[in-house]
Amino acid sequence: MKRLIVIVLAAAFAVACTAGDIEQTLQEYESRIHELENEVEQLTITISDGSIFPVCQCSGHPEVAGHLVSIQEFGVLPTNTPEANKTALQKAIDVATKEGLALYVTPVENGYPMAGGIDLKRNVSLIGAHGPTGRGTVNATHDGPTGSVFLITDREHPFIATRSATRIEGIQFYYPEQAWRSPEGIIKYPPTITLPSDEGAQGVTLRDLTFYGEWFAMDFRARSGCEQILFENCYGYPYSGQFIAIDRCWDIPRILHCHVNPANMREFGRGLPPSIIDYAINQGTFTYWIDHTDNAVVMDIFTFGSHGGIYLGENTYGQLTNFNFDCVKVGIYRSGNANKNRTWEIAQGSIIANAGTDLSAIHPIYVTGIGGHTSVTNVESFSGGNGALTNSGASYDFITLDGSGYYTVSLTSCRMSGYEADDPITVRNVFAALRAVNCIDKNDIFFDRAIEPKDDYPSGVVTVMDNCDSAKGWISGFGSGAGLDTSNQREGAGCITATGHEVNLFTKKFETPVDARVSSRRGHFCLKLYISDISAIDLSKEGSIEVTSSGTCDDQEYAWYIGRLNLKQGWNDLDLRLSEAGVSGANPDLSRMNYIRIYHLGVTKDLTIKLDDIKFYQE
């Protein structure tokens, strides 16, 4: 157990009765205060393994009261090799995880050489002396940064992986071997900060960080999910074009006050030429990238010289406010694969879209997909030339509507200028709906606009996917396997049946894909499902009915949770709206539906399940 050993010195002063004695006592007390101020710097901290380390002697830091320990006390030194410093820093982290300590990156001239592969374990904070340094700190020889700096040359491993309840703050990350005069020799380093490969993370704070020469700053594309990841006041210019990427981050990820600019090494003489900025743009990536999130909050962000400003993936929603995307090819790329929980509220920003020479590919806002709503308020676009990069000096339009399904877009009080097309709104998706109110075009003329979606398929269209008159292709995990029942069908010559006790009730991959001839907005998926004993299924457990166009599950998939379908014993006539389905992976292609799965984790005993009359229809 951690003990904070504080030198407690008590001075006993006699209370004098005369004015002279009182004056003498006060003089002695003042002298004693100075002694205590010197001695308080000698505070020590004892860790549970018996090691004793002085508390960091940085009296101006708010955490000097016993929670900061210098990494130098563990042997991390500016004169060490990168591998030696990595070993020493990992040892410090291993000690700090037990007590929840903050490790202080004591400022030194030129920084600390450091190898990658560091595991920032739970409860540990890694703290430096700096706020974000937008043009760089500079050492005495003006050829590199100085202070709380990690010098990274490891080309094989991400520098550091953050686990739950961790913090990295006030640190600079410098790649001194990175090319900066021309694209030749650019090193594609692994991400600087990322998640561990074996688990997600919850409660990670990344604040006041600066990156110099990085390929990819912060990669938080989780495999197993993460929560409450905060990026705040982080600066850099990634050569890959990717600064922050978030995937499968639930419970509100936040990106706040971040700034990406190729001039961030200017103070120590590494200004980037147009050829490197063009190189970063040609990677075709986005500075900020978000998908599979709940209610993401993105506020006060900036980028200059990238292919894309921000990518808002099809499985996400949230708020984007107070932003500037300068010299980009695409400012905002927005996709959506459903109507529920697929709204992005975008406001108070400016976009200068001009990068590259293919004018037809330059769009301040690009919307695609098959669902969702995009609200754009008080967003301005303008354009022009810039000597820092190869550019067209203009954008093609203000917004492009692409995709293959129904979604909605509202534009309010947007000023649109610097585009070449006759119309600021390009419509490639005939199923998209748009309203523009109090907007201003390139001729400084107010306009309102209403774009109605095409009536895609006529009402009443019915497409049979499987009439279940044959068991060919059907598989069941039940002991009996999938068979044909010709005595208890709901229509036609038979129905699919299985008896047993297993997770996978039915699956089928269709050799010939089915064109559903319905839209995601007005289409329904229907089937008849028989359950012999509803008490044999714990409906609180996970289970769903899925139909996909990928030939397998969990990709290009519509899914409906069985526990929400109010199933009863006997036959159930299920009428499932596509617009209310969960969507997994890429957008389903309704013209090539080719896979069905029904599974449930809550089957507790043997029962009989039957299927019949599987079809799509357009309402």
pLDDT digits (tens, 9 = 90+) for 249-283: 988 999 999 999 999 999 999 999 999 999 999 99
How many whole angstroms separate alpha carbon 63 and alpha carbon 71? 15
Confidence (pLDDT) at 28 = 56
In sequence order, what are the beta bridge partners of 584? 557
The alpha carbon dihedral of 185, 186, 188, 194 has a sign of: positive
Nearest CA-CA partner of 288 in 317, 268, 259, 265: 259
Confidence (pLDDT) at 258 = 98
Nearest CA-CA partner of 277 in 235, 305, 241: 305
Q: Encoding tokens for residue 548?
A: 């996909």
For the chain, which ranges sit under pLDDT 50? 1-20, 22, 25-26, 29, 33, 36-66
Cα dihedral angle (202, 205, 210, 214), rounded to 10 degrees?
A: 0
Confidence (pLDDT) at 456 = 63
Residues 6+ apart with CB under 8 A from 162: 120, 168, 193, 194, 195, 196, 201, 204, 206
Q: Encoding tokens for residue 142?
A: 């003006």
Write down the residue that tokens 């004098």 correspond to. Answer: 16
CB-side neighbour CA atoms (13 Å) of 397: 17
How many whole angstroms separate alpha carbon 617 and alpha carbon 608? 28
User: What are the E-state strand segments in 261-295?
Assistant: 286-293
User: Is there a contact between 286 and 241 (Cβ–Cβ < 8 Å)?
Assistant: yes
Confidence (pLDDT) at 584 = 86
User: Is there a contact between 415 and 424 (Cβ–Cβ < 8 Å)?
Assistant: no
User: What are the E-state strand segments in 44-162?
Assistant: 44-46, 52-54, 68-70, 102-104, 112-114, 118-120, 125-127, 149-152, 160-162
Write down the residue that tokens 């936040």 correspond to. Answer: 254
The SS3 call for residue 274 is helix
Q: Residue 496 carries which DSSP code?
A: E
Q: Which CATH number fits domain 462-618: 3.40.190.10, 2.60.120.260, 3.90.1150.10, 2.130.10.10?
A: 2.60.120.260
What type of residue is 279? Y
In sequence order, what are the beta bridge partners of 593? 514
Confidence (pLDDT) at 202 = 96
- The domain locations on the chain are 1-67, 462-618
Residues 6+ apart with CB under 8 A from 605: 501, 533, 536
Q: Residue 566 carries which DSSP code?
A: -
Model's pTM, two decimal places? 0.76
Residues 6+ apart with CB under 8 A from 550: 556, 557, 585, 586, 594, 595
How many whole angstroms separate alpha carbon 410 and alpha carbon 63? 48
User: Is there a contact between 551 and 596 (Cβ–Cβ < 8 Å)?
Assistant: no
Confidence (pLDDT) at 34 = 52
Confidence (pLDDT) at 29 = 45
Question: For 425-480, what is each residue's pLDDT tens digit?
Answer: 999 998 899 999 999 999 999 999 999 987 667 788 899 999 999 999 999 999 88
How many whole angstroms separate alpha carbon 372 and alpha carbon 437? 19
The SS3 call for residue 521 is coil
How many whole angstroms separate alpha carbon 328 and alpha carbon 604? 56
How many whole angstroms separate alpha carbon 539 and alpha carbon 600? 8
Query: Radius of gyration of the chain from Cα atoms?
Result: 31
Confidence (pLDDT) at 449 = 96
Q: Residue 40 carries which DSSP code?
A: G
